[in-house]
Structure 1
Amino acid sequence: MVTVAPPHPWVYALRLPHDPRAVRVARVTMRAALDGHGMQDVADAAELLTSELVTNAYRHTNGPASLRLTGLGGGRLRVGVWDSDPRIPAPFDRSGGDTVPLAPSGAESGRGLGLVREYADSWGGWVLGDDGPGRGAGKLLWFEVGGHARLPLLRK
């Protein structure tokens, strides 16, 4: 049987509606793409961090979001999530060495972006089309993982 290796980098893009089910759709899509490219070693960390970014896009905007997966070669993956809110949250607005405040004990939210700092190899964010307050095209947050497993298996 002949197999064909895809060219590197490979890219998948997915438009997500403003719907709470979009988080699951993003996770399932990501898992399928990574399984198809033999990148199971980064799937757990990438799935967790993507869930956090897509959840934040749903919670903090009223519009759609987009997910972009890019295989960079060498087992590395870049994930980008676009949404319509132009504000860049920590840790994306700072260098990787800055700290992210911990969520208070018992808080129901506030831990997700700290997970990015903990488990991603690198991350960043850009405001898109900044034409003044409330008139931008949103933001793109991204992170990279790969080359080694940093997150214990999360499977049940």
Structure 2
Amino acid sequence: MRTVSPSDTWVYALRLPHDPRAARVARMTVRSVLASHGRPEVLDSVELLASELVTNTYLHTNGPASLRLTALADGRLRVGVWDSHPRIPAPFGRPPLDYVPLVPTHADGSRGLRLVQEYADCWGGVSLCDGGRDRRAGKLLWFEVGG
């Protein structure tokens, strides 16, 4: 007789409107999902980085965004954020030339993508446009932690 046990892999997806509260909703979702799956070791990093990426979608696009949390079989957690703008920002392009420099201590912002370099184990991005005129397909930025 076989016993069925819950899988260690799972996926959660959340569609976010173009709204200044989207980052807060993303943080609350990350906290709830990771707590329910017993992943406290990555909670702070994932919450911070997901919030930064969702904030950037609000600041730099005019459309909705999506957040996807995926637990991979090897224990890593992949977080993806989709938005409607096709440009891939540093550091999500091709390393090592796509590096985000340190921000002066007196600067008001521009630290979010640098945090990805510091706290994520790996990251990447892909433009979902076909190279034609339809740029609405946007991009997907992702990072992985844990494992």
Same fold (TM over 0.5): yes
Q: For structure 1, which runs of at least 5 residues remain unmatched after alignment?
A: 148-156
CA distance in 2 between counterparts of 1:40 and 1:103 reads: 29
- 1:63 matched residue in structure 2: 63
CA contact (8 A) 1:96 1:117 kept: no
Cα distance 1:26–1:135, how it changes in 2: closer, same or farther (>3 A)? same
What is the letter of the counterpart of residue 67 of structure 2?
Answer: L
Q: How many residues align?
A: 144
Cα distance 1:29–1:133, how it changes in 2: closer, same or farther (>3 A)? same
- 2:30 matched residue in structure 1: 30
CA distance in 2 between counterparts of 1:129 and 1:87 reads: 10
Cα distance 1:5–1:25, how it changes in 2: closer, same or farther (>3 A)? farther
CA distances 1:4-34 after superposition (whole Å, capped 9, x unpaired): 8532421000000000111010010011110
CA distance in 2 between counterparts of 1:49 and 1:61 reads: 18
Cα distance 1:146–1:97, how it changes in 2: closer, same or farther (>3 A)? farther
User: Which structure 2 residues correspond to residues 44-83 of structure 1 after superposition, within 5 A?
Assistant: 44-83=44-83
CA distances 1:54-83 after superposition (whole Å, capped 9, x unpaired): 000000001000000001134310000000
TM-score by length of structure 1 reads 0.85
Secondary structure at the aligned position of 1:81 is classed as strand
CA contact (8 A) 1:96 1:123 kept: no
Secondary structure at the aligned position of 2:72 is classed as strand
Cα distance 1:73–1:29, how it changes in 2: closer, same or farther (>3 A)? same
CA contact (8 A) 1:91 1:99 kept: yes
CA distance in 1 between counterparts of 2:27 and 2:36 reads: 14
Cα distance 1:37–1:114, how it changes in 2: closer, same or farther (>3 A)? same
